[in-house]
Chains A and B, each alone.
Chain A
C-alpha cells in the first residue's frame, strides 16, 4: 500500500517537473516576444503620428514621415504576389494532382527545396543581373517584385502542396466516381477545399516579402526618394531598406534613431496585421469548408 503511494508520488513528481519545464519554456518564448515588441513599441511609439504615416521624409530623413516607404512596400508586395501566387499555385497543383510518383517529381521537389534554402542576398544579386541589367527593367518595382516573387515561390509552392495534400482523397474519388474529369475535380472540388489553407500561406508570405531587405537592395530600393512611384518601372522606397538606411548611414544617425524605431514598429504592425488577417480568413473559410 505504502509502496504504491510512493510510486504514485514519484510518478507525480517527475510529471510535475517535466510539465514545469514545458510550461516555463512556453512562457519564456511568449515573454521574449513581448520584450522585443515592448522594446520597439516603447522606443517607437513616440514618433508615430498621422504625419509620420502620411508625410514624406524631411531634413535628411531625421524628420517627417515614412509614407513613400509604406507605399513602396505595398507596391512590392502586390507586384511579387501577382507573379508568385499564380505560378506557385499552378506549379503545386501540377505537382500534387498530375505528376505521378517517380523521379521527375522527386527532382522538382528537391529543386524547390533547394530554392527555399538559397540566401536572400543571392536572390538580390540574381535579380539585379537578370531583371535589372539583362532584361533592362532598371531599378524598378517590376524588377524588385519579381525578385521577391522568386524568393517566396518555394514557400507558396510548399504551402499550396501541403494544403492540397490535406484534402482527403475520397473527395477526388467521389468526384471522379461521378464521371468528372481530373480538371473538373481539381478546379471544382479539390481547390475550393484547399483554398483557406492556400490563402493562409499566401498571407504569411506577404509578411515575409514585406520584411525582406537583401533582394530589393540592388533591384528597386531607393536611398531617398521624396515622391511616390508612378509606374512599375519606377524606383521606390521600402520600409526595411529605409530602416537599414536611417539606422546605419543616414545624415544624422543619432537624430534619426527615433525615426528608425518608428519605422520598425510600422513594419512589425504590417506583418502582424497580415498574420492576423491570415488567421481570420482561415477561420472564415474554415467555417464554410469544414473538413470533418
Chain B
C-alpha cells in the first residue's frame, strides 16, 4: 500500500487553476523529489499534503489525498493531527526567536507534553538525529539565531521531527544555504529516509538526483512524468522532461 496517494487532485487559487488532475502515489520510506520550473505547481502540491493551503483565502481543491488510508480532506479529519503527522521544513531557515532547546521543545509543549524529563530526552535525541548535537550541546540555552544558516536549517528539521511525524515535507530546504551546508542536509535526508517518507521540492535538479528515489516533474500545473529518479535522469519517457533536466527548456 502507498503511504501517500493522491487521486485527480485539482487546485484553484481563485480563478487560477494551479493544479490539474494530479494523481501521484508515494511509497513509505522513500524520498520523492518534485521538480519543475517556477510556478509549475510543485510547491502548491506539497502544501496540499499538510493542508497548509487552507491558510490561504479563496482557494478550492477537488479530488482526494489519502495518507495512511485516510482521506485528509475528509470531513472527519483533524487538521492538527494531520499536521503533527506531516512535518514541514521551509525554504529559508526559520527557527523561532527562542533558545535552541526551546525551538525543538516547542512542538512538544504545544502538544501537551509537560514532563520535564521527557521533553529533555526527546529534544536531545532529536538534535542527535539531525547530527547537530556535537555542535550545539554546549549552547542549548543560547538563541537559535546564533547558529549558522545550515545549522539553523538542521535545527528546523529537528523541530519538525521532535513530534514524531511519519512524513516530512521539504520546500527547497537548501536554496538559502552554502554548498557545504547543502551537502550536510542532503546526507541527512538520505539518512532520514530509513524512518520517514520524505517529499522534497527542489529547483536544483542535481539535488533531486542525489537525494531522491523517485522524481515527479511538474509543468504548468500538470504532472508530466513520474518515475524512478534514475530513469528520469537517464532515459525520461517524455520529451518535456528530457528538455527540462538537460536545461534545454524553451
Contact = CB atoms under 8 A, between A and B. Distances in A.
B163 interface: yes
B156 A179 contact: no
A67 to B, nearest CB: 42
A178 interface: yes
A168 B92 contact: yes
Interface stretch (A34-42, A108-116, A188-196): A188-196
Interface stretch (B21-29, B105-113, B191-199): B105-113
B238 interface: no
B145 interface: yes
Interface string A167-209: 0101111111111110010001100110000000000000000
A288 B106 contact: no
Given A174-B94, A292-B149, A188 B83 contact: no
A101 interface: yes
B55 interface: yes
Given A173-B55, A188-B106, A178 B163 contact: yes
A173 B46 CA distance: 13
B207 interface: no
Nearest to A193: B97
Nearest to B94: A170
A168 B149 CA distance: 16
- Which residue, B84, B94, B96, B159, has most C-beta atoms of chain A within 10 A? B94
Given A168-B92, A184-B110, A292-B149, A177 B97 contact: no
Nearest to A192: B97
A290 B90 CA distance: 17
A24 interface: no
Given A176-B83, A292-B149, A181 B110 contact: yes
A99 to B, nearest CB: 10
Contacts of B111: 178-179
Contact of B156 (A174, A188, A292): A174
Contacts of A181: 80, 110
A100 interface: yes
B153 to A, nearest CB: 12
A90 interface: no
Interface string A89-100: 000000000001
A269 interface: no
A175 to B, nearest CB: 7
B139 to A, nearest CB: 15
A288 B96 contact: no
B214 interface: no
Interface of A is mostly: helix
A261 to B, nearest CB: 45
B80 A175 contact: no
The range of chain A's interface size is 20 to 34
A101 B97 contact: no
Nearest to B81: A179
B29 to A, nearest CB: 21
Contacts of B96: 171, 174-175, 188-189
A180 B84 CA distance: 9
A289 interface: yes
A174 B159 contact: yes
Contacts of A173: 52, 55, 88, 90
Contacts of A193: 97
B4 interface: no
Return the 9 tightest CB-CB contacts between A and B, nearest first: A178-B107, A180-B110, A289-B97, A179-B84, A170-B90, A177-B88, A290-B145, A179-B80, A170-B94
Given A178-B83, A178-B87, 19 more contacts: A100-B57, A102-B57, A168-B92, A172-B55, A173-B52, A173-B88, A174-B159, A175-B106, A175-B110, A177-B50, A177-B52, A177-B160, A178-B107, A178-B111, A179-B81, A181-B80, A189-B96, A288-B143, A289-B145
Interface of B: 50, 52, 55, 57-58, 80-81, 83-84, 86-88, 90-94, 96-97, 106-107, 110-111, 143, 145, 149, 156, 159-160, 163
29 contacts: A101-B57, A101-B58, A102-B57, A170-B90, A173-B55, A174-B88, A174-B159, A174-B160, A176-B55, A177-B83, A177-B88, A177-B160, A178-B107, A178-B110, A179-B80, A179-B81, A179-B83, A179-B107, A179-B110, A179-B111, A180-B106, A180-B110, A181-B110, A188-B110, A189-B96, A193-B97, A292-B92, A292-B93, A292-B149
